[in-house]
Amino acid sequence: MKEQYFYKAYKRDGSEVKGLVEASSREAALRWVKDQGLIPSELRPLEFKAPGTSWLGMLKMKKRKSLSSQDVLFFTKQMAVLLKGGLPIDRALKVLSQSLGGGKAGDLCTRVLAWIEKGASLSEALEREEGFSAMYITLVRAGEQSGSLDMVLERLSCYLEEELKTKKEVLSALIYPSLLLSVGLISVYLLLVVVIPRFSIIFSDLGQEIPLPTKIMLALSWLARKTWFLLPLGVLLLLGLLKYASDNPSWRRRGEGWLLYRLPLVSTFVRKRELSRFSRAMAILLGGGVTLSRSLELVTTISPFQKIKEELERLAEDIKKGRSLSRLMGGSPLFLPFCLHMVEVGEETGNLEEAFSNIATALEEDLREGTKRFLNLLEPSIILFMGIVIGSMVISMLLAIFSINDIGF
């Protein structure tokens, strides 16, 4: 198994260089450094423990909380500003660490700076932190390779800011429907386990035949009181099955197929979401000077869906053969006709960056509007649903009460 080694060495002219090398052993790493015509002065395994960090400090680092979306956005914006101002990465991290002091963002800068000083790149350092997505790491790595890290971080901050804004809007809009649904479900449960059983005793004492709706409601009440423990067991069983299915390649592929192409409404939403992220990443990469084939190779890592990764890998391979991107995309059910037309126009005008940017903007706006429409319908739908459920319970009891009039005293 290969490990990463940090090395310091000197060129023939006396200038110092440092970096990382991946090798199966220390001897192999040392041999590689010498093969580069360098004179090694230091070579050590790249460990997680930062310089000067005690075991107690490591314990505290393990217990640290993961970064929130707000923390990641703040870090990205500040780094973009500092790098755009001409500061090198290590200097920018020092400035941020000193200005922020403690807190999660300040601690993040300190940890990342420790990795940078050991020879790691920014993307490698961020990869070891929680809170940074695969898309984020991929774009930062591309920015490093193309020499346009400041521009990539600036565009990333704009993208993250819009995402965070949308997320906050959705969470705010979900507060009232969630409260409404919770109160409604609690009311239904109390009716089933407290109120209806009392009616059950009365009906049993009378010995009168009761209507079918009332029998059903009494049976549901008995189930709620006697078998309530089956509900959490069922939830745990469902979670276990989902975990097993996600770990099983054939089950996962089948599930992804349903989620991406066959479920009404849901499939369209998921595909648009993944296509918007793909298009935004492509726009940032192409704008940063990364070639089309290399951009397609990099974006294969940003999607959690294996089917999408395979489609993007196919595009990355076929585009090297000189084929048209829009035609390659047209051979996949993943891409929407709107996306194909925009890419085709981008190829004709020689401006794929703008084409992907327009696709991402249009899809993000469409998703935002669709989410708003869904949330606007959610509240009345919950009210209607809970009204039907509680109304059915009340009517079933009233039917039995009205039937009491037929009893002869």
b/e string for 244-255 if b means 16 or more Cβ within 10 A? Answer: eeeeeeeebeeb
Q: What integer pLDDT is reported at residue 60 of this predicted model?
A: 41
Which position has the token pair 């996949």?
A: 332
Model pLDDT, residue 405 = 58
Mean pLDDT within 250-272:
85
Q: Per-residue pLDDT for 355 more than 90? A: yes
Q: Which structure tokens are listed for 77?
A: 């914006």
Question: Residues 179-233: pLDDT tens digits?
Answer: 999 999 999 999 988 888 888 888 777 777 788 888 889 899 998 888 888 888 9
Residue 66 confidence class, pLDDT cut points 50, 70, 90:
low
- Which position has the token pair 């970096």? 19
Average pLDDT of the residues in 4-31: 76
pLDDT > 80? residue 101: no
Question: Which residues pair with residue 45 across a beta bridge?
Answer: 5
pLDDT of residue 253: 80
- Separation CA 150–CA 154 (nearest Å): 6
Q: What percent of the chain has pLDDT over 70?
A: 91
pLDDT grade, residue 22 (50/70/90)? confident
CB atoms within 10 A of CB 5: 22
β-bridge mates for residue 168, sequence order: none
Name the token pair of 19. 């970096």
CA distance 327 to 40: 51
Whether residue 6 has pLDDT greater than 50 = yes
Average pLDDT over the chain, rounded to an integer: 83
Predicted local distance difference test score (pLDDT) of residue 353: 92
Provide the pLDDT for residue 404. 67
Please answer whether residues 286 and 356 qualify as being in contact, where contact means their C-beta atoms are separated by less than 8 angstroms. Answer: yes
| pLDDT-wise least confident of 73-77, 97-101, 360-364 | 97-101
At 54, is the secondary structure helix, strand, or coil? coil
The whole-number pLDDT of residue 402 equals: 80
Which residue intervals of 191-211 are DSSP H helices?
Answer: 196-206
Nearest 5°: phi and psi at 229?
-70, -15
What is the pLDDT at residue 154?
A: 92
Determine what percent of the chain is predicted with pLDDT higher than 90: 22
Is residue 7 over pLDDT 80?
Answer: no
This prediction's pTM = 0.71
User: What's residue 352's pLDDT?
Assistant: 92
In this predicted structure, the answer to whether residue 14 has a pLDDT above a threshold of 80 is no
